Structure 1
Amino acid sequence: MKCLTSDELRQMYLDFFKSKGHAVIKSASLIPENDPTVLFTTAGMHPLVPYLLGETHPAGTRLTDVQKCVRTGDIDEVGDESHCTFFEMLGNWSLGDYFKKEAITWSFEFLTDEKYLGIDKDKLYFSCFAGDEDAPRDTVAYDTWRSLGVAEDHIFFLPKENNWWGPAGITGPCGPDTEMFIDTGKPACGPDCSPACGCGKYLEIWNDVFMEYNKQADGTYVPLEQKNVDTGMGLDRTIAILQGKGSVYETDVFAPIIAKIEELSGKKYEGADEDTRKAFRIVADHVRCATFMIGDERGITPSNVDQGYVLRRLLRRAIRFSGKLGIAEGSLPAIAKVVIDKYAHAYEELRFNENKILAEIAKEEERFQKTITQGLKEFEKTVERLEGDTIDGKSAFRLYDTFGFPIEFTLELAAERGLKVDKEGFDKAFEHHQELSHAGAEQRFKGGLADTSEQTARLHTATHLLNAALRKLLSEDIVQKGSNITAERLRFDFNFPRKVERDELDQLEAYVNEAIAAGLDVIEEEMSVEEAKQQGAMGVFDSKYGDLVKVYTIPGYSKEICGGPHAKNTAELGHFKIKKEQSSSAGVRRIKAVLD
Structure 2
Amino acid sequence: MIANELRKAYIDFFVERGHAEIPSASLVPENDPSALFTTAGMHPLVPFLKGEPHPSGTRLVNVQKCLRTGDIDGVGDDTHLTFFEMLGNWSLGDYFKQEAIQYSFDFLTTKLGVPTDRLAISVFAGDADAPFDQESYDRWIACGIAPERIAKLGKEDNWWPAGGKNPGPQGPDTEMFYWTGAEPVPKTFDPSDKQWVEIWNDVFMEFDRQTDGTFAPLSQKNVDTGMGLERTTAVLQGKTSVYDTERFTPIIHAIEETSQTAYVTHKRSMRIIADHVRTSVMLVSDGVHPSNKDQGYILRRLIRRAVRQLHQLNDREHGIGSVVDACIETLEPSYPVLQQRQSEIQEVIAHEVAAFEKTLTKGLRAFDKLFASSGYVGGEEAFTLFSTYGFPLELTEELVREKGMGVDKEVFVAQFQKHQDISRSGSEKKFAGGLADHSDESKKLHTATHLLHQALKMVLGDHVAQKGSNITQERLRFDFSHDAKMTDDEKREVEKIVNEQIQKKLPVSFKVLSVDEAKKKNAIGLFEDTYAHIGGKVKVYTIGDAKRGVFSREICGGPHVENTGDLQAFALTKEEASSAGIRRIKAVVGDSARKALSIKNR
Normalised to the residue count of structure 1, the TM-score between the two structures is 0.89
The letter of the residue matching 1:9 is L
Query: Alpha-carbon deviation of 1:103?
Result: 0.7
Aligned to 1:227, the other structure's residue is in SS state strand
User: 2:240, 2:230 → 1: CA distance?
Assistant: 12
| Partners of 1:50 and 1:450 within 8 A in 2 | no
The letter of the residue matching 1:324 is Q
Q: Evaluate the alpha carbon distance shift between residue 593 and residue 216 of structure 1 in structure 2; reply closer, same or farther with a 3 A threshold.
A: farther
Match of 1:285 among 275, 287, 296: 275
Query: Alpha-carbon deviation of 1:345?
Result: 1.5
> What aligned pairs does 1:378-527 form with structure 2 within 5 A after superposition?
378-379=366-367, 382-383=370-371, 386=373, 388-400=374-386, 402-406=388-392, 423-426=406-409, 429=412, 449=435, 451-501=437-487, 504-527=490-513
> What aligned pairs does 1:372-383 form with structure 2 within 5 A after superposition?
372-379=360-367, 382-383=370-371
| Counterpart check, 1:15 vs 2:3 | no
| Counterpart check, 1:155 vs 2:150 | yes
| Counterpart check, 1:111 vs 2:119 | no
User: 2:200, 2:395 → 1: CA distance?
Assistant: 41
Residue number in structure 1 paired with 2:565? 571
Query: Alpha-carbon deviation of 1:132?
Result: 2.4
User: 1:137, 1:466 → 2: CA distance?
Assistant: 51
Residue number in structure 1 paired with 2:176? 180
| Partners of 1:541 and 1:562 within 8 A in 2 | no
Q: Evaluate the alpha carbon distance shift between residue 99 and residue 367 of structure 1 in structure 2; reply closer, same or farther with a 3 A threshold.
A: same
Residue number in structure 1 paired with 2:536? 547
Match of 1:69 among 43, 66, 70: 66
Residue number in structure 1 paired with 2:598? none
| Partners of 2:383 and 2:415 within 8 A in 1 | no
Match of 1:145 among 140, 144, 147: 140
| Partners of 2:35 and 2:428 within 8 A in 1 | no
Query: Alpha-carbon deviation of 1:477?
Result: 1.4
User: 2:122, 2:387 → 1: CA distance?
Assistant: 44
Query: Alpha-carbon deviation of 1:415?
Result: 9.9
| Partners of 1:37 and 1:169 within 8 A in 2 | no
Q: Evaluate the alpha carbon distance shift between residue 468 and residue 291 of structure 1 in structure 2; reply closer, same or farther with a 3 A threshold.
A: same
| Counterpart check, 1:306 vs 2:294 | yes
Query: Alpha-carbon deviation of 1:433?
Result: 5.8
Residue number in structure 2 paired with 1:318? 306
User: 1:248, 1:444 → 2: CA distance?
Assistant: 25
User: 2:494, 2:525 → 1: CA distance?
Assistant: 20
| Partners of 1:36 and 1:447 within 8 A in 2 | no
Aligned to 1:364, the other structure's residue is in SS state helix
| Partners of 1:130 and 1:159 within 8 A in 2 | yes
Q: Evaluate the alpha carbon distance shift between residue 441 and residue 502 of structure 1 in structure 2; reply closer, same or farther with a 3 A threshold.
A: farther
Residue number in structure 2 paired with 1:136? 131
Q: Evaluate the alpha carbon distance shift between residue 183 and residue 364 of structure 1 in structure 2; reply closer, same or farther with a 3 A threshold.
A: same
Query: Alpha-carbon deviation of 1:443?
Result: 9.5
Between 461-470 and 347-356, the greater mean CA deviation after superposition: 461-470
Query: Alpha-carbon deviation of 1:444?
Result: 12
| Partners of 2:43 and 2:434 within 8 A in 1 | no
| Partners of 2:199 and 2:232 within 8 A in 1 | yes
| Partners of 1:448 and 1:485 within 8 A in 2 | no
Match of 1:27 among 19, 24, 27: 24
Query: Alpha-carbon deviation of 1:496?
Result: 2.5
- Identity over the aligned pairs, expressed in percent? 52
Query: Alpha-carbon deviation of 1:280?
Result: 1.2
| Partners of 1:36 and 1:446 within 8 A in 2 | no
Residue number in structure 2 paired with 1:358? 346
Match of 1:341 among 324, 329, 332: 329
User: 1:132, 1:438 → 2: CA distance?
Assistant: 36
Q: Evaluate the alpha carbon distance shift between residue 402 and residue 105 of structure 1 in structure 2; reply closer, same or farther with a 3 A threshold.
A: farther
Residue number in structure 1 paired with 2:519? 533
User: 2:254, 2:206 → 1: CA distance?
Assistant: 47
| Partners of 2:47 and 2:434 within 8 A in 1 | no
| Partners of 1:330 and 1:362 within 8 A in 2 | no
Aligned to 1:233, the other structure's residue is in SS state strand
Aligned to 1:241, the other structure's residue is in SS state helix
Query: Alpha-carbon deviation of 1:406?
Result: 4.7
User: 1:327, 1:240 → 2: CA distance?
Assistant: 29
User: 1:33, 1:366 → 2: CA distance?
Assistant: 31
| Partners of 1:552 and 1:559 within 8 A in 2 | yes
Aligned to 2:135, the other structure's residue is in SS state helix
Question: What stretches of structure 1 of length at least 5 have no aligned partner?
Answer: none
Query: Alpha-carbon deviation of 1:389?
Result: 2.6
Query: Alpha-carbon deviation of 1:427?
Result: 7.0
User: 1:187, 1:400 → 2: CA distance?
Assistant: 52
Query: Alpha-carbon deviation of 1:542?
Result: 7.3
User: 1:542, 1:457 → 2: CA distance?
Assistant: 27
Query: Alpha-carbon deviation of 1:95?
Result: 1.4
The letter of the residue matching 1:550 is K
Q: Evaluate the alpha carbon distance shift between residue 174 and residue 429 of structure 1 in structure 2; reply closer, same or farther with a 3 A threshold.
A: same
| Partners of 2:61 and 2:88 within 8 A in 1 | yes
Question: How far does the alpha carbon of each residue in 1:277-334 deviate from its partner, in whole angstroms, 9 at most, with x for none?
Answer: 11111111111111111123xx212111111111111111111111222335141111
Q: Evaluate the alpha carbon distance shift between residue 136 and residue 498 of structure 1 in structure 2; reply closer, same or farther with a 3 A threshold.
A: farther
Match of 1:231 among 222, 225, 249: 225
User: 2:428, 2:324 → 1: CA distance?
Assistant: 33
Query: Alpha-carbon deviation of 1:73?
Result: 1.2
Query: Alpha-carbon deviation of 1:511?
Result: 2.1
Match of 2:242 among 234, 237, 248: 248
Between 237-246 and 130-139, the greater mean CA deviation after superposition: 130-139
Question: How far does the alpha carbon of each residue in 1:69-88 deviate from its partner, in whole angstroms, 9 at most, with x for none?
Answer: 11111211111111111111
Question: How far does the alpha carbon of each residue in 1:173-202 deviate from its partner, in whole angstroms, 9 at most, with x for none?
Answer: 2221111111233899x999742x4x4132
The letter of the residue matching 2:51 is G
Residue number in structure 2 paired with 1:212? 206
Query: Alpha-carbon deviation of 1:144?
Result: 1.3
| Partners of 2:165 and 2:213 within 8 A in 1 | no
User: 2:390, 2:475 → 1: CA distance?
Assistant: 32
User: 2:209, 2:447 → 1: CA distance?
Assistant: 25
The letter of the residue matching 2:16 is S
Query: Alpha-carbon deviation of 1:586?
Result: 2.8
Query: Alpha-carbon deviation of 1:16?
Result: 0.5
The letter of the residue matching 1:286 is H
Q: Evaluate the alpha carbon distance shift between residue 137 and residue 411 of structure 1 in structure 2; reply closer, same or farther with a 3 A threshold.
A: closer
The letter of the residue matching 2:61 is T
User: 1:300, 1:283 → 2: CA distance?
Assistant: 19
Question: What stretches of structure 2 of length at least 5 have no aligned partner?
Answer: 545-549, 591-602
Match of 1:120 among 67, 92, 115: 115
Q: Evaluate the alpha carbon distance shift between residue 593 and residue 374 of structure 1 in structure 2; reply closer, same or farther with a 3 A threshold.
A: same
The letter of the residue matching 1:554 is I
CA RMSD of aligned residues (A): 3.1
